Structure 1
Amino acid sequence: MALDGVVRSLTALHRACLYRYGAPLLALITLAGSLLKASQPLADSYFSNRRNALNVYFVKFSWGWTVGLLFPFIFTSNYFLQRDVLFAVRRVTSCLVGTGVWFLSTRTFHIIENFTGECYESQNMTVLHELDNLYTCKKNGHIWLGFDISGHSFLLSYCVLIMTEEIAVMNELHKVEQKPGKAIATIIKSLFIALNALLLLWIWMFFCTAVYFHDMPHKIIGTAFGISAWYGTYRFWYKKPFSPGLPPETGNKKE
């Protein structure tokens, strides 16, 4: 089937590239894109406009799009491999952990920006000392300038890395002797293809952020937050007993 061929090709490409080199690739994109922006800014384009459709309808809701596809994929694929509902439910709690990471990180970024900034009058850029926090400053139509860690660099890098971890399970699904029913197989494969399309979109928009927006320190720290959040969960905590756990391997499949 054509669907099977697409899935197998994507699985092989994923295992050979992103699963092994995802974090270094994202770090390289941030560094190279930031250097390009600082030394020889690219000409304005559709993607340099913050109001472009991909940014407005996808990136601004990137966590919702990511979880919306990951949740059913994790449950169906993990349940098929382990034949254990409780295991599948435990694994989808990784989406709750990720939501907590996203919320706490973005709140931290706002606190840092508020603590390090000042309010400037929007016309002549004089400092307005009476407006001493980000929220009242912007509410009154002025400009707040603080250390603005790139939320896009953080969230897009984090989404790319956790999606890469979860869709790697397709490599195990190809190995099992007992195939899922036609309906569930179609669901898993369709979700896998959709996740790969979303993954490609996140990488592209991450690149656009690197070459068009924010200053270098803002993007580097944002990306560092994303990589650290992924590493702390999937490469450390999820290996512990009291955690959502890692995606299953066929060697761990229950009889």
Structure 2
Amino acid sequence: MVLNAVLVILTDLAARLLGNTLFRRHFHLALSAAVTFGPVLSLWVSRHSVFAKRSHFLYRMFLKSGWGWTCVFVGSFVFLLSFSSRRSLSLSLRHLSRLAAAGGLWFVFCKLLDALENATGSCYEPLPGSPETGDGPLPLLVLREGASKAECLKAGMLWRGYEVSQDVFLLCLCCLLLAEETAVFGPYLCRGGVSDAPLRILFLFCVLLLSLWLFLLVCLLAYFPQFPTQLLGGALGCLSWRGLYQGWYCQGPCWYCPGRPGFGLLQN
């Protein structure tokens, strides 16, 4: 009983925050400000911190499979919320199709960004005895003609091309998607919707995942500042969210549009 009471209190507080009008209107602005000014934090963070290493557990475990983690938790929450509310499989699948559309857009953009980097890049081989890459001086490089990016990296050489940060792009898109999909839970509770423990636990996991993505985003900006590639990645993530949730999904539910979060769930 005590654990259930704590769960209800935590989820109610988080639902009120995420469902607050000010939060929903200004979260993307706060995220944009973080991406723009986050690299300034590199002036104060320690290069000896555990988060200054790309081999850190959080980077390896979550960052490289960020879309998978987001789909598992958000998809489970969206499905359980919609199905427990209306007991309609078709309605639940309609809501899940928003994640499929966002995933398809993310996949297409990643392929386009890879193609851009391949088309504009060149392969370089560090000269023997030159400084190692990292926090020290840049190594002396020799251009190697004719190598593709895959061949270059497989040979242990360096590829330099026009790059847009896919990590920042993914984190911004996932943060905005999580904020949109979980914001409906507050109004849903206010209307007396079904709110058993499994649904509340899934919601709390989504909130924790949103917090983790924000933390990793700040870490990337502070410990691995790359201007303007990270700024472009953040801009692409925000534009993707605006095109989906502020554009396409606002067209209303129909055969080509899944509708916005909460459609069909908040009616009394």
Is the pair's TM-score, using the shorter chain for normalization, greater than 0.5? yes
Identity of aligned residues (%): 27
Partner of 2:154: 139
3-state SS, counterpart of residue 126 of structure 1? strand
Aligned to 1:30: 35
**Alignment partner, residue 149 of structure 1:** 164
Q: Secondary structure at the match of 1:216?
A: coil
Mean Cα displacement is larger for which, 6-15 or 221-230? 6-15
Are residues 1:236 and 2:247 paired? yes
* Counterpart selection for 2:189 from 143, 157, 174: 174
Which of 46, 70, 78 is matched with 1:74 structurally?
78
**Greater helix proportion:** 1
> TM-score of the superposition, structure 2-length normalised?
0.86
Of 48, 55, 65 in structure 2, the residue corresponding to residue 51 of structure 1 is 55
Which 4+ runs in 1 deviate beyond 4 A?
249-252
SS of 2:123's partner is strand
TM-aligned CA deviation for residue 250 of structure 1: 7.2
- Alignment match, 2:214: 203
How far apart in 1 are the matches of 2:258 and 2:265? 19
Worse overlay, 13-22 or 91-100: 13-22
Contact 1:63 1:155 in 2 (8 A): yes
How many aligned positions are there? 247
Note if contact 1:34-1:210 (Cα within 8 Å) is conserved in structure 2. Answer: yes
Amino acid at match of 1:165: E
How many Å separate the matches in 1 of 2:125 and 2:44? 28
Report the 3-state secondary structure (helix = DSSP H, G, I; strand = E; otherwise coil) of the residue aligned with 1:33: helix
CA-atom RMSD, angstroms? 1.9
Q: Which amino acid aligns with 1:243?
A: C
| Alpha-carbon distance in 2 for matches of 1:251, 1:212 | 42
* Structure 1 spans left out of the alignment, 5+ residues: none
1:84 corresponding residue in structure 2: 88
- Quick check: 1:42 aligned with 2:53? no
1:138-158 deviations in whole A, cap 9, x for unaligned? Answer: 121110011221111100000
Q: Aligned AA for 1:21?
A: H
Q: Distance in 2 between matches of 1:209 and 1:186?
A: 34
